Each structure stands twice: as C-alpha cells, then as structure tokens.
Structure 1
C-alpha cells in the first residue's frame, strides 16, 4: 500500500507538486511543494488522521476559510485548503527562514532590540486579527516564523478550527488548545477568552526571547498550568539585568493574572515598547496637536470656516523650529472624535493639545481656545477673542502668538516675520484656498477639477497672489503626477504659475515646492531636490515637502537620505495615507519588502475605499509574492474605477500577475499606455508586468522609458526588483544598467 507521501503527491498532482517533508508536529505534517499555477514554493500542512477525524472535513474547511480573510504583513496568509483522498490540508506561502523556536534553540537569548522588534511585529498582527474578532489561542515561538528580520504569525486558521471542535472532543486526540508554557490562566482554566489571552502568550514569548526560557518552568503540563494561575512572575531583570526598565514593565503587564490588568490591544503593547525611545527624540522639541475647532454656528457652511482657522493656526505653529506640530491632514482626521485627550496624546506622542470653538453669526465672530496638557488633562491657558469677520486674520495671529507664549517658546526674527505675514487677506479667497487644499488630497480627477475651480475663483476675488498661484500650479502638476491626464499643457500652466508666484514672493515655500515638482516631472531630479530643501528651510514641518523630497531620494536610490525625512513625517503626519505611501516606497525601493508591506497595509487600513491605497497595497503584496491577495485588490479597483488610471492599471496588473498574456495585451489600452508613458513609476510597473509575462522586449522598452523619466535607482533595478529577474541576462538590460549606474552615482544628496 502506498505511504502517506505517495498518496498525498497523487491526490494533489493537479495543483501542487509535492517535493519533500519539511517536518512534523503534534497536529500536522508539513510538506514543501510547488504551486503549479503560480510557479512558487508553498508549504502544505496535512492534519494527522486522528485530528482530522475529530474535526471533520466540513467544520475544518468552514473554520479555516475564515482565516483566509486575514491580510496583514505579519500574518502568514492562507492560500488554499481542502480535502483529498482522506487528507485534510491547508496551504500557506513557504517562508525560507526559520521559526523563532529554531532561533532560540541556537542562540538561547536574543538581543533586546531584536526581541522588542519581533514582539512589536507579532503585536501588530494580533491587533489586526483581534479587531476582526479572531483569537489565535496558541502564540508561541513555534508559530512565529522569521525571514530577513521580519516575523510572521502562522496557524491562525487551525486555531479557529480547533476552537470550533470544542475541548471535550479534542482531548480524544491527546491535544489541547494552547501550549502549557505559554497558555493564559483563563485559557488554562477553560474560561471564555478574548484577545488579551493572546497578549499573555506573547508576553511569555517575549520573556523567553530575553531570559532564555519561559517565565514558568515545570516537569508536567499540570504543574505549568498551576504556576500560570497561581505563581507571581519571576522578575525579568533578575535573569537578565540589562533589560531596560520600560521593557520589564511591559512584560510584567502582559503577564498579569487578570485580563483586565493587561494591555487591552496589541497596538497598546507595541506603543508601550517604543514610547521611551520616542520620548527621548521628541523631548528635545515641545509637541502639540491643534484639534479641529468646533463650529457653534447652525449654518453647515461655517464648518469650512472653522476648519480653515484650525489649519491656519497649524500653519503658523509649523513655521517654528522649536515645535513639533501634528500636521493639518492628521489633525483633521480627529474631527468629531470621541477619544479623550490622554488617548490622543499617547497615540500621537504629543505633550499638548489645543481645543477651540468658533461662533460665526452674520458679520460677528467669537473664538474660544484652551491649551491642555495631554498627559495630565490639566488646562494650562484659555482665552476668548471677539470681533467681526474682518478681524479674523488678527484673531488668528493673536491666537498663534498666545500659544507660543504659553509654551514658553522663543521666536527667531524670521519666525516672527512669517507668523505676522498675511499670504491671503481676503476672506472669500481664504475660504476658497482651504476648500481647494482639502480637494487636492483626494487624488481623483473630480477632486482636482473642484480644486482648480475654487482656486481660480479665489484669484478672481483677490487678484495676484503667490500662495493661490502656487496652489493652482500644484493642482496642474497633480493631474500629471497622479496619471489622471497626460496633457502637456498642465505642466506648461504650472510653469507659468510658478513664475508668477516667484515674481511676487521669491522666498515662498509653496513656490519652491511647485518649482521642485515641475523639475521632478521634467526629469531633472538633481534640480528638484534643492527646491524641496529650500522649501523645508522656510517651513521645516511641512509634510508635503518632506514627502516629496523623500520620494525623489527613493527613486534616485538614496534610501538612507530619505529615511530621516520619513521618520519626521511619521512624527508629524501619522494618520494620513500619503505618509505611509511615501514610507512604503522608500522601504520597497530599498529592498525591504516586508517593511514596505507593513507601510502599505497601514495606508490601506487608513483609507480602505481609496483606489490609490488599494492599488498601492496590491503592488506591495505582489512584491511579497502574495499574488492571490494582490489580484483580489486589483480586481476591486478595476471594478470600482473602470474609466480611471487606477482602474485601467489595476486590470492590467492583475492579468499580468496571473500570467494571462492575451488578457493583459487587451487591457494595455492606448488610454493606459499614454497615461503612464510620462511617469517613471507607472513605466517601471509596466516593465515589471511585461517581464512577468515573459515579454522581454516590451519589458525593456518600458524600463528604458522609466529611466528616461527619472527612475535612476540603480541598486533596485540592477539587483533587488524580483520581477525583473527574467530580463537581467539580456544585453539590452546590461547596457541600460550601465547608464543608470552612471546617473545614480552623479546624483547629489
């Protein structure tokens, strides 16, 4: 009679070529196989027959399928599951590295930084799953896989199936939910558990990474369980004195007997591990968030006025080097929030919060504001301002200066001049400007059209104005940059507007940003970078400028120069998709695919309906060889936005990932190719797609175009891009890389 390996090989032959056994545990045997459709290596886990009998195929397949919806950089994805000739199996990506257990057996103790990093990554995975009401129930070193410094949690699916089976029937197999060394007291006692049980198990794992052994030791399962329930946790620093105070406190809190005394979420746990580091950085600067001012007027139109006042105060404070100010885009995300100030301060890592309200009735105006210590909720300063609408700019300046005084910050003469400046002194034009800024960041053709109309209306009200000219020029660049239009006239209009803005105000920060963007789109990256640096000198906390300069550095192969900009961007603008997009591209184009995936996943979580965020996350998933998930996201964008760049490009990339040559050729319409031809990123992605399809000539043609458009990241193109592997031996590729290397070396940071 054929053995299990032979029977499995035969049963799965139409989809997988089973190569060899990788190992066997208490629940399943793992085999290395090749996914014949996608030409990738996978791990096939086959349940032991006694466990399969207890679970039953229907329950197993139903419960494990729930985990297929989990899509997170630090959760091992479920690719497939099924039954075949008596086998119950599920399929996951093959991780080439090792388990945390294997690493601990070799090294016993990990460095503090590495242990904390792994714990944070696992906490991030748990936080994601718990928000979807999925509990793992068996977090332990064996279920944490490591590859190139990144941790991935395995076996979420089997935990769900085992839970559904129930404890009584499960004991028939000699198995139980949880592992005695890592099980929480409530799980060991057979009580109902929630995500805090996983937090406890992660605490045991972190303890072991640092101490070299779990917190409780024993010779039998019963002894271990009793110690989890009854014994105090041995102090971590009694075993390893070098563990920092805050890490020991975090571990102790995760291991509290009562779930109510532990961290409530993985996000809280992760934040507690990093907060002292963050504090050391940010304590050098006083930090503040200006919360959206509440409109007390019945007219909904006055919401825009209150938002505009909020943004102007943020703009004033952002001009001060000695302050770290949460950006307007992140601050506006907190509009209407029911979070208390302490929670907001902790989430953003700021010391102070400014709250306020605006009452506008006819021509009269009343503004109230109060400064609060975000850590203690103590009120530090409060003031009321009254006047007419004509006084709004005076009130804004008085309010900004009062905050500076309350925070005991000393202004330089240049900072004093900038706060006193009135870039727009007409109320109607002022409101047009703020509405337009909000529209720009929606990144759709419709929103850009609305922004253009608003800014043109503002200019009609006020006449020549450098800020409005720069903003309108920015809109024209964005039509091209977001690939909504390939019309050359947009860049021509932007150049004309940049010249007008420069004549009126040569030192304008928005003017420098616009000039940098024009140089960037005109493929002069070496000129673009100094423009962005000049803009940062005038407004050091401007997130838009930080993002653009980081982007230029990333596509020029200067990831080390981009990273400090991204770190600052994450400090001042953590709640917007643009920030995490830029962070993702910096990581991806530096070859850190797992880190990039985490950034793009955060972007997707912030704006799950945004076609841009879904498209970006799908690209990162594809780079991480998670093809099925990438294709599902591409498909959703193609369905939702069929006539747009994102829709067309997503449809094409999906077919390319599926190796569907005929379908991809049909999807590469003239509208798509014309929109991406003027963009270095779009052209590079077309090159990747054609390389996957095995069409070397088309791939190299698009890659040459990407280089002409400014993609000079030599390390990434020459060595790191996984999709270009099929063309790297082509003489045409070699010649192109010689040119790229030369341009890359010339680029000055």
Structure 2
C-alpha cells in the first residue's frame, strides 16, 4: 500500500462550534489530507486562536511523545511552525500549532504564478529550518509545498508529524508514514532516511515551485510515478521549465540526484549553493505571451507577438534591440523569450580575481 496512514471520513470529524477535549472550540475546517485533518480553533484555556491537526496513528502515545520531543527541539526557530501541545483522543493525536495568517506554497501555486526569485527565497528559509532540525537529529520526511506556510514574504516549515526523532526511539521500520512522491530512492526503496533524503525532497519541492507545478502528476505524461520515484527519475520526468536560469537548474539537478553520494550532503551545502546566486529580475508571467518585472525602478516587459513571430524586449516602454527579434517559427520565438527570461533572472557571477603569485 503506497500511503499506509489514515482513512479520512467523508465529512470532517468536527463541526464549527464543537468543543474538543474541553478546550478547543472548532471554528472552521482548514483542510484535509492523507495524514489528517486541520482546523482553526479557539483555545478557551489559553484565550488564543491556533491550528489543530488530528491524525490517526498506530500508537498514539508514542506519536505524542515524538511530537513533544520535536516541539522542545524546534520551537525556537523562526522558520518552523511552532508546535504548542499534543494530546491523545480516541486513538488519534491532536497537535496544536501556531496559526499562520497566510497560505501554503501549494495554495499559492494553485492560485497564481510564483516568480522564480520568490521560490528561491522560500526554499532558503526552509533549508534554514532543516539545518536546525538536522542538527538535533530530526529528519522531517514530509517536505512538500503543502507543508510550507507563507506569511509576510517569509516561509515556515510545518508538519513534523511524521518526522523521526532520536529521543523517542522511533525508526523507519517502526514508523512508516512519509510522503512517498517526494521521497529519495533510498528512502522509498529501503526506508533509509537521512539529512540527504530531506535535501532530495526539498530539491523536488524547489523544482515544482520554479516550474509552478501545483498538479505535478500532470507533468508525467501518464507515467507511473511509483516507478519513477523508486529509480530516482521523477524530477527528470518532470523536467525544468525553460525560463529557469541555467545555474539554478544545475543546483536543482544536484539536489535531486538519485545517487546520495552525488547529492548535497546537508541542508547547509544546498542553502549555500542557492545563496551564491545573484538575484536580479523577479519576472512575473502574466500570460504565455507576456512577462514583466520591475528592475532598478524601471518596468521591463518581454512579449511574444503571434502575428509576426516576434519577441519584443521593452524597458520603460522603449524597445531594446538586443532582445527584440523576429523568427521564422513560433517555436523559435518562444525559445528565445524563455532564454531572455532565464538569462536575466540572475546576475552573472562575478569573475574571481587571480591570486598573486607566491
């Protein structure tokens, strides 16, 4: 079975107004997934709003202990959604978390185009969170757009509900829930989890973000995602969008390499590689034929003109000859447009000065 976790009811477990374990008054259901349901609740004992996740697990007491250990280790980090308390109710674990006044990266990808530079910023935040977790022996195992919460231009990593923690004695063989579509091949095939497997999942998340792939299965062309995950070729099948800068493609390919020995061996190394990139233009795709950005106080536009198979590059309304061209075919024109976007998203690396001879 590919997702041996929870069986969700046809309707939410709780309704608005319900009071759970005497202190959580249900306000509204926020969402549901394979691992549980999430509600916005009012904690009547503490007098604040929070998010409450309800998850059915095989051993609720052990799972509660794991959540409490993680909360103690992680609660001080700015890029981790804070876990407040954990309780057990009728074979389920209730996890109270801080309520983020925003939406997930997955929600954003479904709703609108997310510029490449914004995705880069979000993933760097998440890598900071993973550095903090990995330094404490915690492996997340569930990095995906739906578990990245966005608020005020920053990102926080959420849902450590299936993470491994050394203090609890939990092991891959005794705790089998994890998000399989984003799993590294060694995690999917052998239940072998490490900081490197979280790096892989984060790399795949970055790929989906820069590609703006909310519905990633649609990019597989009917291929069996299980086989692709098992042999480490899911990212290859998805491909990288043509407007993504070449330097970023190189970093993503290394992060999702099927061989752990060829992958970034830590979240630190992955983040440092992203930080060496030099952001420039945050291009917004307004339509397939029209891209725009604000750079150094000037509006820049790249547009495709179907009638003539032409591409125009405009700066403050003035056509720039270096990027504006006509082509014989639409395919050539669109390839040129993507190249313009990709090459201008980042500044070129600065040349290193040669060291003086000893």
Same fold (TM over 0.5): yes
CA distance in 1: counterparts of 2:238 and 2:250, whole angstroms? 12
Deviation at 1:195, TM superposition (A): 0.6
Distance change (3 Å), C-alpha of 1:117 and 1:59? same
Number of residue pairs matched by the alignment: 270
Q: Which has the higher strand share?
A: 2
Going from structure 1 to structure 2, the CA distance change for 1:201 and 1:6 (only over 3 Å counts) comes to: closer
> What pairs with 1:628-639 in structure 2 (closer than 5 Å)?
none
Corresponding position: 1:25 with 2:33: yes
- RMSD of aligned residue pairs (Cα, Å): 3.3
Match of 1:122 in 2: 126
Counterpart position of 2:47: 39
Q: Secondary structure at the match of 1:189?
A: helix
C-alpha displacement at 1:94, in angstroms? 0.9
Per-residue deviation, 1:220: 4.0
CA 1:18–1:167: 2 relative to 1, 3 Å: same
> Does the aligned pair in 2 maintain the 1:167–1:177 contact within 8 Å?
no
Q: CA deviation at 1:150?
A: 1.1
Counterparts of residues 257-336 of structure 1 (less than 5 Å): 257-277=258-278
> What does the per-residue CA deviation read over 1:477-521, in whole Å, with 9 as the maximum and x for residues that have no partner?
xxxxxxxxxxxxxxxxxxxxxxxxxxxxxxxxxxxxxxxxxxxxx
Distance 2:261 2:254 in 1: 10
| Compared CA separation, residues 78 and 230, structure 1 to 2 (3 A) | closer
Name the structure 2 match of 1:255: 256
In the alignment, the residues of structure 1 paired with residue 118 and residue 42 of structure 2 have an alpha-carbon distance, to the nearest angstrom, of: 32
8 Å Cα contact 2:172-2:193 kept in structure 1: no
The answer for the alignment partner of 1:494 in structure 2 is: none
2:24 — aligned with what?
A: 16
Query: Are residues 6 and 122 of structure 1, via their aligned partners in 2, closer, same or farther at CA, if it must alter by over 3 Å?
Result: closer
Q: Give the conservation status (yes or no) of the 8 Å contact 1:66–1:157.
A: no
Counterpart-to-counterpart distance in 1, 2:171 and 2:265: 27
> Where do residues 34-183 of structure 1 align in structure 2 (5 Å cutoff)?
34-48=42-56, 52=57, 54=58, 56-68=59-71, 69-70=73-74, 71-107=76-112, 109-160=113-164, 164=170, 166-167=172-173, 170=176, 176-180=177-181, 182-183=182-183
Aligned partner of residue 264 in structure 1, secondary structure: coil
CA offsets 1:291-332 (integer angstroms, 9 cap, x no match): xxxxxxxxxxxxxxxxxxxxxxxxxxxxxxxxxxxxxxxxxx
Superposed, 1:341-740 pairs within 5 Å as 380-381=357-358
Deviation of 1:115 after TM superposition, in Å, equals 1.1
Counterparts of 1:178 and 1:121 in 2: how far apart (Å)?
20
Following superposition, the deviation at residue 29 of structure 1 comes to 1.1
Change (3 A) 1:256 1:20: same
Q: 1:147 to 1:230 in 2, by over 3 A?
A: closer
Per-residue deviation, 1:199: 0.9
Q: Corresponding residue for 1:209?
A: 209
CA–CA separation in structure 1 for the residues paired with 2:95 and 2:66 = 12
Could you tell me how far apart the structure 1 residues matched to 2:235 and 2:20 are?
Answer: 50
Deviations 1:674-717, CA, capped at 9 Å, x for gaps: xxxxxxxxxxxxxxxxxxxxxxxxxxxxxxxxxxxxxxxxxxxx
- 1:608-663 Cα shifts (integer Å, max 9, x gaps): xxxxxxxxxxxxxxxxxxxxxxxxxxxxxxxxxxxxxxxxxxxxxxxxxxxxxxxx
* Contact kept in structure 2, 1:233 and 1:255, CA below 8 Å: no
Higher Cα Rg, which structure: 1
Counterpart Cα distance in 2 of 1:156 and 1:169: 13
SS in 1 for 2:161: helix
What is the CA–CA distance in structure 2 between the aligned matches of 1:232 and 1:93, rounded to whole Å?
36
Higher relative contact order (CA 8 A, sep 6+): 2
> CA offsets per residue over residues 541-565 of structure 1, 9 Å max, x none?
xxxxxxxxxxxxxxxxxxxxxxxxx
Structure (1/2) with the larger helix percentage: 1
Q: Per the alignment, in what secondary structure is the counterpart of residue 143 of structure 2? A: coil
TM-score by length of 1: 0.33
Mapped partners of 1:187, 1:200: distance in 2: 10
Offset from partner CA, 1:259-283 (integer Å, 9 cap, x none): 12122222222221221429xxxxx
CA distance in 2, matches of 1:231, 1:266: 19
Distance 1:8 1:58 in 2: 27
Q: CA deviation at 1:229?
A: 5.0
Q: Aligned with 2:65: secondary structure?
A: helix
Alpha-carbon distance in structure 2 between the residues aligned to 1:250 and 1:19 = 42
Question: In 2 relative to 1, CA 147–263 (structure 1 residues): closer, same or farther, beyond 3 Å?
Answer: same
Task: Provide the rounded CA distance (Å) in 2 between the counterparts of 1:163 and 1:209.
Answer: 34
TM-score (ref. length: structure 2): 0.66
